[in-house]
Chain A
Amino acid sequence: MAETVKLTIDGKEVVAPKGMNLIEAAKLVGIEVPHYCYHPKLTIAGNCRMCLVDTGMPKLDKDKKPELGPDGKPVIMFAPKLAIGCNTTVAEGMVVHTRTPKVQKAREGVMEFLLINHPLDCPICDQAGECRLQEFSVDYGKGESRFVEEKVHKPKQTKLNAKITLDDERCILCSRCIRFMKEVAGQDCLGFVNRGSYSTLTCYPGQEPKTNYDLNIVDICPVGALTQTDFRFEQRVWFLKETKSVCPNCSTGCNTVLWSREGVVYRQTPRDNDAVNQCWMCDYGRLNFKFINDPTRLTSPSVKSAVYGERVNLTWLEATRQITGKLKAAGTIAGIASGRATTEELFLFKKLVGDLVDIVPHTGEADGKLLQADRNPNTAGAKLTGCATGKLPEILEGIKAGKVKTLIVLGEDLDEELAKKLELLVVIDTLPTKATEHANYVLPGTTFAEKRGTFINGKNRLQRFNAAIPPVGIARPEWQTLTALLGASYAAIEDVFADMARTLPALAGLNLSKIGDLGVELKIEQPAVQPVSQAAEAVAK
């Protein structure tokens, strides 16, 4: 462990690593120091002055020893002025007060200044409900304004870029966004112009944020100055239910929160996990959730009826009965699974289909930060459960040659030409595709927001996600469908996981609650995810 120092914050002894600042040190003992500009993952600017605290050091005598007072305790010399907690590091013997009247008064002063030109748009401001300015106004605000002059007006409702709306009146000039763009996103494009009350946040002329991480500045903006354009006025945040989830858009598996109300997901934001995504996520993943509430979602099992010449809806019982009957009669069964399916589903799929199974790779460009080239969130899971075999070309050839007559597809598409060759095609998916159009049986599945399950990311980290909303129509989680087709008796996803943990040594001793919200690293002795077969991909799409 690094060198530590001992200090006292509000009468509580704290042992903190050397170099830590007072905001973090206070957090260790559960004391919150209000702050705006400080962000643990960014450099320190120290410009909002909200984090002022009273600090004192022991008085030293001639021998540089702490001088003891009459009560036998060291005499503390308090600094004449308050210091900002974000930029003051801990020191041996330091004494910090965060709640004295002096500190309180300083915070009230800062709040009053911040609110002088603030428009108090709260009723129409999307930040309301999760706004630091609102929160600290409640704690330290006066409740009324002494400011009688006209407020400074600044541009409102300006578009920073296509994704972000900027309201300069609400900006408290904390510069978090500027620092993020420069330090994390790597595009130095924001800055302040003008002086004093007229200071305004703006983009460098002719530029706009255009990285894949821009929307993180909406998250870190402590007020409603930066808002996400496609979430603007959609819902107030206090109606939204937060569900811990994992982004299903690449093999990083950023930890996320899904914000939903009454079966509709309104936004997705990153969740802190220092082992995966710190507190950021990429815009590609963040915005790619709209398919959850797509109106064309598949809602009911259906069969392509020879009699009616069109699709006829079935009950689950009937669909399961018919399919299991036909599968029993069929010869070789092949399966195409998806790297977007959960580990549990892949485990059951492998059980159902047998050896002739593979997943379809999906790739894109890696950006060197969070976004990976492998856009399947669970390629590692597929490998672990034996679903990623590299047999995809073989399967596709088999279909072409007429050797494979029965195919089960889990969440992937299939060429029309191939689909027509099959005698029995069962597709489990959420949205209509070419495959569902030609399938004999379509079984509606659920998106990641509607079920529980686990993904194993590219670094072999097992992470679990939760159901935010109920499934559409009578659709149900794929693990239930597969359980029914297998004729197995798993009552809950926990049972599937328990069976999986018994079968797969890498998961031994684990269960869903042991995984926790942050996931666990798995020890898997396997080569990293095998290179994507270009040919296979070409055939599949």
Chain B
Amino acid sequence: MMLELLGHLIKIAAVIGVMLGFVAYTVMLERWACAWMQDRIGPNRVGPFGVLQPLADGLKFIFKEDVLPHHVNKVYFCIAPVVTMIPGLIAMAVIPWGSNLPIAGHVIKGVIADLNVGILFIFAISSLGVYGIVLAGWASNSKYPFLGGIRSSAQMISYEVCLGLSVVPVFMQAGSLNLMKVVEYQAAHTWLVLCQPLSFFIFLVSAFAETNRTPFDLPEAEQELVGGYHTEYSSMKFAMFFLGEYAAMFVQSALMVTLFFGGWSLPFAPFNAPATELWVGAVQIGVFLAKVVCFLFLFIWVRWTIPRFRYDQLMALGWKIFIPLTIVNILLVAVVLALVAK
């Protein structure tokens, strides 16, 4: 019992640690990638090739003056960044990083909480993130954050619907809401992106909107809203928003990997089944992370390529195109599945 608890704690620490490390270096990757795409060098001063830049950034954030404007609602203003940051971390609890890690006779599961309703948990938790942004926009008590807050509440709520509907076919096919099961299904059969390309596409676009990334970064739109909901923030509070955004990106990437790209699996033995040996389990975790990195890079790549959509375009896309499409998709998949089962 104690041992199990200890194992869980270690797992939690490892997941959070790895994730924060990834978040920090995603920022780094973003800065490098955008520099290269613009024929610049990018950060190269701190440490060899600038690899210690995230540490310097972190230090700087910590030591910056924390400005608390006098016109804000102090309590909510301080809570908001935390509310944005935490859901990302919690959502990771149900995402399977690997299959098993068999160590000295014990089998450690590659997921912290093997919930039966994993996906619902994730949607429930990650939609809490919008509260942070809305709170920030409202508590700042100034116009640009307020507009940012309004935009983000509308945007996030709209795309939550698409997000939720778009994954329904996945579970219809996999037959379970448990994410571990979904991955195992893919490992045994085939990656679901091949069976459900439309689902994947809608999920991908909605994920961009959910994470407030370009081309859907309307809540923070620097050119229109001076940074939107985080205009009034500085120092560590600002950093929390920043990290929150990247954590959300990480979660969405992990989710896409899990739902559509086979999670920890590779389509050949011995990686296409839950591991029975330590090294296989370890490689599977590596595979999972590598796939996540690919998606993170996709997020970055898109950001430095595409300009921002207009607000009306964003809304039209969500309500008039994606939602009908997903519903049609669900119906089609249901019909096909029924026919196949017959």
Query: Direct contact between A and B in the complex (CB less than 8 angstroms)?
Result: no
Give A contacts to B, CB under 8 Å: none
Give B contacts to A, CB under 8 Å: none
